[in-house]
A and B are shown apart, each in its own frame.
Chain A
Amino acid sequence: MDVGQMQRQLVEYTKSLFIEGYLDSQFLQLQQLQDESNPSFVAEVVSLFFEDSERILKDLTFALEQKIIDFKKVDAHVHQFKGSSSSIGAQRVKNACIAFRGYCEEQNVNSCTRCLQQVKQEYFIVKNKLETLFRLEHQIIGAGGSIPMVELSF
């Protein structure tokens, strides 16, 4: 695959992430904040998001395993996760968190457990997608190419 093909592949892949709703305009804002003076900004923020998310998921799993569930605590964790996913533009994760909070309010154990699985799933999917995105970018740079800008209308 030559650089041109790789670049086209990256553009198509990036567009698909937005079209399929995995990412929203906030991710574009992160990309806008990256420049020559701060060339790894997006990767750094996303990396922090991965670390933070995995910590939150552990805490959530633990909280929902308790005999007596502290729904306030569960809600606090979900609120945190909703915030961080929103800040990086991980739309599906954010939406799963919003639904989750609804069930926390109802103090519905079964629904909360289901929501946790949903949130976990969405998280691992977007993590995989973002890692693929970064891999494609690295391949292009490694081959001496530059990352093409993707402009989208919402």
Chain B
Amino acid sequence: MAVESEVVVVGGRGEKEHFHVLAVDDSVIDRKLLERLLTVSSCKVTCVDSGDQALKYLGLLDDLHNTINASSPSLHSSHHEGTKVNMIMTDYCMPGMSGYDLLKRLKGSPWKDIPVVIMSSENVPSRISMCLEGGAEEFLLKPLQLSDLEKLQPYFPKFPDNSCEGESTSADEDNDQDNNHYNCNSISKRKATSAEPREKSRSKMKEYN
């Protein structure tokens, strides 16, 4: 079987699936950025532009009556059109339903165990604690960078020889696993070639000769 550089989760029936993130943001620019960041991190991404759209996607909103179907029988766990959602990343400040509102609704639904990450351009400590206390796994400050996605590594599925947690690039040894294949080469490589995180100083100016 060809080695694929993707984060692969083995589904219940043994088929390979990708780590699927549902991204919720009313800004078209931020959706595009997040989609690219997640794709580069080897995730499958679905973008929606509001909390309502997110709930609809998850099958929690009845289009006709616009009510929450908390006990919807269609929720054979977390499937929508046969696609499992592994994580939800949502902007905090959105018109209509806020990211926090969405978080609360999710925690009161059959989706309560799916990790939710909240993003915001504003660094408001009380907002951050409120979200974390409300059940959010992480709170990320915008604008998002690759280094922020690294904070989400713990939520990606773990395998015994996972070598993506550090700066190690010894992931090559892991490629021989067959079904349970977690190839983090793309993440390691990108770390090696990407710009250093904001906090560190960058290399000196390179003059073009």
Contact = CB atoms under 8 A, between A and B. Distances in A.
Interface residues of A, number: 35
A7 B208 contact: yes
B29 A29 contact: no
A149 B36 contact: no
B146 A32 contact: yes
Interface string B109-139: 0000000000001000000000000000000
B10 to A, nearest CB: 25
A32 B37 CA distance: 10
Contact of B28 (A32, A48, A152): A48
Interface in A17-45: 25-26, 28-30, 32-33, 38, 41, 44-45
B145 interface: yes
Contacts of A151: 202-206
16 contacts: A7-B208, A11-B207, A25-B198, A29-B146, A30-B33, A32-B146, A32-B195, A33-B33, A45-B32, A79-B93, A86-B121, A87-B142, A88-B29, A89-B143, A151-B205, A153-B204
Interface of B: 27-30, 32-33, 36-37, 40, 93, 95, 121, 142-146, 194-195, 198, 201-208
Given A29-B146, A87-B143, 9 more contacts: A11-B208, A26-B143, A29-B143, A33-B146, A45-B29, A83-B30, A83-B142, A84-B30, A154-B201
